[in-house]
Structure 1
Amino acid sequence: MTDTPAVATVKIDNAQVRVTEWRFTPGAHTGHHRHECPYVVVPMVTGGLTAIGPAGEITSALRVGEPYYRDAGVEHDVRNPNPFDFAFIEIELKPAPRA
């Protein structure tokens, strides 16, 4: 694994959602983090992503345009195990504002 960070570009950030484009060179990773909100990931490339968390290291096969959802509380470092660049859009669903 390299120590190269993935590049995050926030596209939208308002009271309802945060939309971030993540780009990874081969071996790049996000760094360990915890998701405080539920989120949806939409891959922009077909390939694998490796999540390193409390359960160990899990590599998942992702397909371009096929989204997946995760609840808040997920903790992991995400790494690109592919020999090519990988990218996805992450949509964090913020809690409704209190009235």
Structure 2
Amino acid sequence: MCEANGTATGKILLENSRMRVTEWRFAKRGDNTGWHKHAFDYLVIPMFDGVLEIDQPDGTRVEAKLQNGVPYDRKAGVEHDVINGNDFECAFIEVELLEDAPSV
């Protein structure tokens, strides 16, 4: 993810020329990533059952219900602020695809 200035903490677990894997941790309700725009396609793997609140550029907020271990993916260009909507600490793994896979 590009630089964001929220209260959630990101820890890079793996990075190479093809991917970056980051653990994002939200200690309490209301912790957030800060506004950011994804420069790469990415995959998110929740490590909890619960909700994240997503602020969008048009001023709306949507609730995303997540299930532990059930991934979802998004294309580059997504802009948002991700907020912990739970009364407990939560985390997810984000895998950014920094380049296309080589052709076979």
Q: Distance in 1 between matches of 2:82 and 2:66?
A: 13
TM-score normalised by L of structure 1:
0.90
Q: How does 1:40-79 map to 2 (within 5 A)?
A: 40-55=43-58, 56-79=60-83
Question: Residue type matched to 1:18 in 2?
Answer: R
Q: Please name the residue that 2:3 is paired with.
A: none
> Which residue of 6, 10, 13 corresponds with 1:11?
13
Unaligned runs of 5+ residues in structure 1 are none
Unaligned runs of 5+ residues in structure 2 are 1-5
> Residue 85 of structure 2 aligns to a residue in which SS?
coil
Q: Please name the residue that 1:90 is paired with.
A: 94
Say how many residue pairs are matched. 94
TM-score normalised by L of structure 2:
0.86
Shift of 1:72: 0.3
Structure 1 runs of 4+ with >3 Å offset: none
Q: Distance in 2 between matches of 1:5 and 1:84?
A: 15
Q: Distance in 1 between matches of 2:73 and 2:42?
A: 6
Shift of 1:96: 3.9
RMSD, aligned CA:
1.4
